[in-house]
Chain A
Amino acid sequence: DTGVSQDPRHKITKRGQNVTFRCDPISEHNRLYWYRQTLGQGPEFLTYFQNEAQLEKSRLLSDRFSAERPKGSFSTLEIQRTEQGDSAMYLCASGLAGVYEQYFGPGTRLTVT
């Protein structure tokens, strides 16, 4: 399968714990995006990378959130000191600069208890 993959697919954690998600984009894609989607809503933009560089971060990305793409391939999204409001689906997408299409992964469903 050469699509976008995400790991884990589901994560249940207790409030206050740290969690890390991984996204593997389509191999030739230089752009990688993170979104958050709550139930019944469309995805909301969090941040995006072009190669290794994090070019934009949404105001939704509080200090507890950090994302990296160290080698310009896979990316990680870490949430520190999780809160119940962090419960959501975290979607990753990848694409090519200048091409108006993003391909989405299956998402990681986070539940904070």
Chain B
Amino acid sequence: KNQVEQSPQSLIILEGKNCTLQCNYTVSPFSNLRWYKQDTGRGPVSLTIMTFSENTKSNGRYTATLDADTKQSSLHITASQLSDSASYICVVYTGGGNKLTFGTGTQLKVEL
């Protein structure tokens, strides 16, 4: 069964600090992996996309890594801001773009 597991389930950090979110997946066949940010009451918005051959990709303060051998990905947020408070969902694409397997998300709260 295709599964995506994320940790931690929730995280509270102080503004300006860094954090790393983890994602482990057992999805086959693998097409790509995306990290989405979902603000409360809003739809998910894509932050990064990782294909099988990519190890690291950055998008501003967000850096995603992918280890296809161990089937693990991480999302590192640098110099966190209050606006980073949201749920971060790891999503693996398969099956021609139709099949998405979602993680349950990490709820991040950034405090002053």
What residues of B have a CB within 8 angstroms of the CB of A33 in the complex?
Answer: 98
Say whether B104 contacts A41, CB under 8 Å.
Answer: yes
Q: Is the CB–CB distance between A40 and B104 below 8 Å?
A: yes
Q: Number of contacts between A and B (CB, 8 Å)? A: 61
User: With A42-B89, A42-B105 known to touch, is A102 a contact of B100 (CB < 8 Å)?
Assistant: yes
Q: Residue A25 at the B interface, CB < 8 A?
A: no
Inter-subunit contact B44/A95 (CB<8 Å): no
Give the size range of B's interface with the partner.
20 to 34
Q: Does A45 contact B (CB under 8 A)?
A: yes
- Residue-wise, chain B 7-51 has the 8 Å CB interface mask toward A (1 for contact) of 000000000000000000000000110101000011111100100
Assuming the A-B contacts A42-B104, A101-B49, are A56 and B43 also in contact, with contact meaning beta carbons closer than 8 angstroms in the complex?
Answer: no
Residue total for A at the interface (Cβ-Cβ under 8 A) = 28
Contacts of B49 in A (CB 8 A): 100-101
Query: A99-B97, A100-B32 given as contacts; is B41 within 8 A of A4 (CB)?
Result: no
Residues of chain B at the chain A interface (Cβ within 8 Å): 4, 31-32, 34, 36, 41-46, 49, 89, 91, 93, 96-100, 102-105, 107
Interface residues in chain A, defined as those with a beta carbon under 8 Å from any beta carbon in chain B: 4, 6, 31, 33, 40-45, 48, 56, 89, 91, 93, 95, 97-107, 109
